[in-house]
Structures are given as C-alpha cells and as structure tokens.
Structure 1
Amino acid sequence: MHLAIVTNSYPPRLGGLESHVSNLAQGLDDLGHRVHVLTISSERSRRNDGGVKVLTGRAHLPIAEVISFPGPGTARAIAQYLRREHVDVVSTHTRFFPMSLVGMRAAQAAGLPVIHTEHGSGFVASPSPIITVGSRAVDLTAGRYVLRHADRVLGVSPEAAAFARRLGAPHADVFYNAITPSVFTDAVPDRPDHLVFVGRVVAGKGWDTFLRAVSALRAAGQDVTGELLGDGAQLAQARQECRTLGLNGVVAIRGRVPQEQARAALRGATLVNPTVLSEGFQTTLLETIAERGRVVTFEVPGAQLLRESGAPVKICRERSLDCLVTALQELLDNPPVPASRELIDPWTWPVRAREYSKVVGEVLAGR
C-alpha cells in the first residue's frame, strides 16, 4: 500500500505528535508499505528518513510555537502530488492543525480516503483568552469538518476518541499511542529519587509545579535531584525560577535534547507529569515504564489504564502542588517495583504499526 501522511509538524521538531507520526511512518515502511510525509516548517526541504520520503513546505504565521499555516495553493499542490505518486490513502493528525484540513481537501480532490488520528482529549487549554477562543472556533469549524468527513477516525486514548465523537466524528476507534522498544541491555540503575520533567516549557505543562515540588521535597529532607527536558516560550523563565528556588546544581535544565538522551534521563528515574493541559496519550509515560522508571502524574489519559495493568504509576488525587508533593513522598518512601518487559511489549510500535496497516486495509476494502 502507498500512504501519504499530511501533518503540521514532523522531526526534527520534537514532541508527542511528532514522535507518534515519525514512528508510525517508520513502522509502516518496515512492513513494506511506501510512505510519504508532507509537512511544513520554517524552511523548505526534501529528504529520505530511511525509506520514508519527507517533503517539507514553508510554514507561515506561527502562533505560540504551536500552530503555523501552509501557503496558498498547498491543498491543490498536494492533490496533484497524490495523483502523481499513486497514493492509496491519506493520514492526518489532530483536528485543529491547518494541515489536517489541507490534507482532507487534497484527498477529496484526488478521490482518496482519509484516516484521521485525534491526539487531543479536549479543547485547547491556554491562559490566553485569544488562543482559547480562537482554537475553539477552529475546532468547531475546520476540526469538525475533518472529523465528519474522514473515512475512519482513530483516537490515541479512549478520552481522545470520545472527544472526537463529541466534536462530530460519526465513530472513533481507540488506537493507543506507542513507543519504540528500549535498546538498553545493561543493568538499569534504580534511582527513584531522580525526578525528571519532559515536555514543552509552556504555560500549563507543569514545569513550574515540577520545580516547586523538587524544592518542597528538599525542604522536607528528601535528597532528590532533577532534570527538566524540553524547549518552549518559558524556558528562560524556568531557568530563572530554578535560580530563585535555589535549585542550581540540583535540577539540570537541559532544554531540547535528542530522544536517546531523554530515554537515558528517564532510565530508573521518576517521571513527574503535572500537566493541566488537554493531553492525548503521552508517550513519555510509556517510555519511563519501558526504561524501568516510575511515574507520578496528574490525571491524564492512559494513566489509569497503565496503573491497572500493573505499571508503577501513581496518580494524584487532585491537580495541585500539595497533592503532587504528597504523592512523590509516598513513592520515595516505598518505591514500587519497575515494570517487566512483557508488560510494555504490547505498547511498542512494531505492534501498533501492524494494527494501523490492518485499518488501512479495511478502509481500502470498504471503498
């Protein structure tokens, strides 16, 4: 089969969506499918990632380091490309990204089916009233159009699938997020007192709550250390807050790091995930478990499912600093046993790529 993934963002930009899409593309390529990725960024480019062909157009009007827009005529150009390359099916991701609508319109013009994967579990949460109102308007117009017209809608968690149905998808199946298997074969150091935050350094993601939790634990006599991994508009503010709290030399703020370095930081450590944003299924939870670490998190999609499956996941009773500190103290006093390899294997991309390939076959058979 020949697939085109149309997405707003793709590596080298790093994040949960980018990781999902790149691993999906590589997994489908490994299964023998032909895969093209059509995306946008600050510079035009063409490259091959293994067997995956990546074509990048120029992005315009970036907003809050989250959304940018393709140029005029992009849908028409992509439709021509789809016909010329004899693509069978188009894959889009997240309803409010402009490239999802562009991919939908291009596929319609080329007479191709669309499989849309929804990564969000709710309306965008932002301290900016402009972003909140604007993103909801997009959800209720362009986002709803994509969800209503896709041939198949998938959600990366039950919450994401339910949100897609509320927005207008006639039906949405759960297609859980996944990770690449761990390649580390040596003995894993057991260090639950090393606390790690991974994510965009933006309002609502929880970097500030993470730093305050580390400070509170040390004030209570816990000899914890930390790392903050990620880039974003508030990175300079995070470094200042670290100095203000007296955590220089205790918490390393590394900014954006390669995926391999992030996995190494999580190895045997404790992921702290105090996000209040409308998350999908965060792969960082899975990566931590795969690297024999533990997780302390606010309520997010997938956390309860992983906990019930036996993974060392502790969920805070409420989204507050006090509750987070209490949960971390309880974990540090009695660290749970790390997960076995057998528990994480079903959550890896070789398994998930086969599931997606099956969905593609079903969609094509139904045309």
Structure 2
Amino acid sequence: MTAPVRPAPDSARHIAFIVNNYLPNVGGVEFHVAALASQLASLGVRVSIFALNNGTPSDLSSNPRIVRFQCSPAVGGVLAWPWPGTTRKIRRMLVGESVTAISTHTRFFPMSLIGVRLAHRLGIPSVHTEHGSASVKGVSPLVALASNLIDKTMGRLVLRRATKVLCISEGARDFVRELAGVNGQVFHNAIDTESFSHCSDQSTEAQDAPAGRKKLVYVGRLVQGKGWDVALATAERLAADHPAIKLHFVGDGPDRGTLAARAAASPLADRLVIHGQQPPARIAELLRGSVFLNPTTLSEGFQTTLLEAVAAGAAVVSTPVGAALHLLEAGADVRLAQADDTDAWIDEVRQALDSPAVPPSPALLASFDWKRRAAEYLRVIDALPNT
C-alpha cells in the first residue's frame, strides 16, 4: 500500500518530544507517542523525537525527525538513564529552531525531567502527558519502595514544572492531583480506528453466527496481575456449555511458559491458541466478533487494547479500569466484573457469548480516533503561554 503523502512541515509549529523510549521499543507509551507524532506530522507540523536507544540509529531526514542517544542498560527493559551531556546536546539542537512546545510522557522517566527543564531554559511551554493512574504495582517490595521514592521526588518535580499536564484517564488525573497537587486535563488515549473497524471482513473465522460469539480473546503481556490465568479459568468453566468456543492469547512475557504448561493440561487444550506477539492486522482479525477478556489488576492508564476491541466489534468483559468505565458510559458493549469474583466472570462472559454482536456507532469510533486527538493536542498547545 502506498504511504500517504505528508504535507510540508509548517514552520510556525515545531513540537519536540523528549522521551525515554520510542519505537522499535514497544509498549503503551511508545505507541501513544508514535501515533501522536505521526498524526501531527500528517497535519503539517514539524516534529522532532529525542529518545534513548543504544542499538537503533537516528533518522534525521524524516518527519518526525528521530534522534537517539546512548544510555545506560535499561532496568526491566524500560527505565534507562541518559549519559551525561545529553541535555546539552538536545539544547544545542533546539536552539534557533523556533520550537513551539516540548512534549514529555510519564513522570518517572529521566527524559521527562530533562524535557521540562529544557522548556524552562528555552522559554517555551511544556506539555506533560501522564500515563499512570497509580504507583507501580505487581513488583517486589524493594522495587515498589524505589518507585515510590522516584514518584515523590522526580515525579512531583516533573508534574509541577510542566506548563500543562494531560492525563490519559480520569484515574490518572486523580493520581496526579494526589501525588503533586496538580489539576491535569483528561486527554484519553486513541487508536487508528480504521485499522480495526475494517478488518478482514472475508475471514470465515471472523464471521460468527448471528446468535452469539465463538471466540474469547486475551491481548496483553503474560505477567502476573494482567489476568491471563483468570481468562483461562473462565474459558475452562464455560467450555462444556459452549463446545464451539476457542480461546486465543495474544502477547508475550515471563509467564508464557507457565501458560503453555497450563494450556497443555487444560480440558480446553485443543481449542486454545497461544499466538505470541502479533501485528495489528492479525490482532484486529482475532478481535472481530469475539469476547475480549481484560481481567487486569495492575495500575492501568487508558488501555488502547479496549479501544481496539470495541472498534473491531468485540464485546468486552473487564475489571473496572478507567478505559472500561469510559467505554461503558459511552455506550460500548462492555461488561464489568471484579478479578477475584469467579462467578461474576462466568456470568458476564456467558452473557457476552450468548448475545449477538452489536457494532459500535460511527460517533463512538470517531471519539477515540487519533485524527481527532491530534487536533485536540494542537488546540492545547496553541492555548499555552510561553514560560
């Protein structure tokens, strides 16, 4: 498919993203930054991305321009520290470039601190987007202690020094207010809805019977707290009454071996597929006509997987996380159950399986598409005063 032609960058706007991680690293923050930056570039905005990466070269000729810096080894594959001199190098590249604003993401990353400080030094506004809705959970006591210390020092400093704080969910807004006393503005996550709503109409697997659904799908990391074990247990309980259902796991993580062992001994073994990481087109195909299971108990921000599921026409059964509550209120096909309430999970998933597919309204899809969100981001920036 031919790539869309981007308009020439508008010299009146230049947004610099200063972030720890960017593609090819994959994760919620990375996808958010990449999608927002790409959509801004498609609107004619000049975009620069400054990120840490020891193995991937920079790309200085594109829009977005991507500049990568050497860094320490990443703790947990996520948290790395820039080498001394990184701030000076970024400032040297930005001086004289008429930067409109600096964009940072997630309070505890060192590059977020660099970003808000550089904005003050250059006399330009900074927009910080907070992706977390609570302190880090599901980690060892030592890591939890260190994370809380970073939150109450560097995290507070980032949130308080940013000109504007955006929060990807109502939960993130409440967390920001509690941690730093800052009133953030909700700026929900988004997706490319067309990629999911127009997925594989010709797939025979995707065409469920009008009376109900035949697929259960889990998309997420295979780690403790994400709920893959709840998804498996729920499917096993429903297997006898729904002999045609299949269970699909999409994602990877340290628990994959445990899941594989459980799956091999499961009564659902011949109807269970562990796919690993998959491209968006394949995820969209699997989600279409399915029941999407989201039994997470972690500190989620605003999960784009729920948006993708709704866009693909899936019914959603989830714990009451921010994205699920928002979609339910907006009229999406969403059901809620607490992760530790086994009977509730059985009942809600059973109802979703037995109900006919209800496609989302065009208005709902448009409300969480990146085209609309990028335009909203520009309105936020245009309203900011210089520091």
Structure 1 range deviating more: 241-250 or 139-148: 241-250
Give, as a single letter, the amino acid of the residue that structure 2 aligns with 1:158: E
Cα pair 2:295 2:339 within 8 Å, conserved: no
Is residue 2:44 matched to residue 1:26?
no
- How far residue 306 of structure 1 moved from its aligned partner, in angstroms, is 1.2
Give, as a single letter, the amino acid of the residue that structure 2 aligns with 1:286: L
- Provide structure 2 residue ranges, at least 5 long, that are not aligned to the other structure: 1-12
Structure 1 SS opposite 2:165: strand
Partner deviation per Cα, 1:259-315 (whole Å, 9 max, x = no partner) = 222222212212100110011111111111111111110110031221122110111
Structure 2 SS opposite 1:38: strand
The CA distance in 1 between the partners of 2:278 and 2:304, in whole Å, is: 16
Give, as a single letter, the amino acid of the residue that structure 2 aligns with 1:124: V
- How far residue 353 of structure 1 moved from its aligned partner, in angstroms, is 0.4
Structure 1 SS opposite 2:321: coil
The percentage of aligned residue pairs carrying the same residue is 37
Picking from 226, 237, 247, the partner of 2:247 is: 226
Cα pair 1:231 1:255 within 8 Å, conserved: yes
- How far residue 318 of structure 1 moved from its aligned partner, in angstroms, is 5.3
Instruction: Quote the residue 1:214 is aligned against.
Output: 235
The CA distance in 2 between the partners of 1:320 and 1:77, in whole Å, is: 53
The CA distance in 1 between the partners of 2:192 and 2:322, in whole Å, is: 20
Is residue 2:199 matched to residue 1:181?
no
Which protein has the bigger strand share? 1
The CA distance in 2 between the partners of 1:273 and 1:99, in whole Å, is: 31
Instruction: Quote the residue 2:161 is aligned against.
Output: 149
The CA distance in 2 between the partners of 1:42 and 1:22, in whole Å, is: 19
Instruction: Quote the residue 2:57 is aligned against.
Output: 45
The CA distance in 1 between the partners of 2:61 and 2:188, in whole Å, is: 24
TM-score by length of 1: 0.92
- How far residue 232 of structure 1 moved from its aligned partner, in angstroms, is 2.1
The CA distance in 1 between the partners of 2:61 and 2:257, in whole Å, is: 33
Structure of larger gyration radius: 2
Give, as a single letter, the amino acid of the residue that structure 1 aligns with 2:207: P
Instruction: Quote the residue 1:310 is aligned against.
Output: 331
Cα pair 1:153 1:169 within 8 Å, conserved: no
Large movers: runs of 4+ above 4 Å: 219-222
Instruction: Quote the residue 1:165 is aligned against.
Output: 177
Give, as a single letter, the amino acid of the residue that structure 2 aligns with 1:189: Q
Give, as a single letter, the amino acid of the residue that structure 2 aligns with 1:253: I
Structure 2 SS opposite 1:70: coil
Cα pair 1:156 1:176 within 8 Å, conserved: yes
Cα pair 2:313 2:357 within 8 Å, conserved: no
Cα pair 2:291 2:353 within 8 Å, conserved: no
Instruction: Return closer, same or farther for 1:319/1:113 CA change in 2, 3 Å cut-off.
Output: farther
The CA distance in 2 between the partners of 1:85 and 1:227, in whole Å, is: 49
Instruction: Quote the residue 2:105 is aligned against.
Output: 93
- How far residue 29 of structure 1 moved from its aligned partner, in angstroms, is 0.7
Cα pair 2:21 2:52 within 8 Å, conserved: yes
Q: Alignment length, in residue pairs?
A: 366
Instruction: Quote the residue 1:275 is aligned against.
Output: 296
Instruction: Return closer, same or farther for 1:48/1:253 CA change in 2, 3 Å cut-off.
Output: farther
The CA distance in 1 between the partners of 2:162 and 2:277, in whole Å, is: 34
Picking from 348, 370, 377, the partner of 1:327 is: 348
- How far residue 78 of structure 1 moved from its aligned partner, in angstroms, is 1.8
The CA distance in 2 between the partners of 1:192 and 1:11, in whole Å, is: 35
Give, as a single letter, the amino acid of the residue that structure 2 aligns with 1:212: A
Give the root-mean-square deviation of aligned CA atoms: 2.2
Cα pair 1:43 1:56 within 8 Å, conserved: no
The CA distance in 2 between the partners of 1:48 and 1:332, in whole Å, is: 49
Instruction: Return closer, same or farther for 1:252/1:318 CA change in 2, 3 Å cut-off.
Output: closer
Structure 2 SS opposite 1:164: helix
Cα pair 1:242 1:251 within 8 Å, conserved: yes
The CA distance in 1 between the partners of 2:291 and 2:127, in whole Å, is: 35
Cα pair 2:165 2:185 within 8 Å, conserved: yes
- Provide structure 1 residue ranges, at least 5 long, that are not aligned to the other structure: none
The CA distance in 2 between the partners of 1:302 and 1:104, in whole Å, is: 28
Instruction: Return closer, same or farther for 1:70/1:219 CA change in 2, 3 Å cut-off.
Output: farther
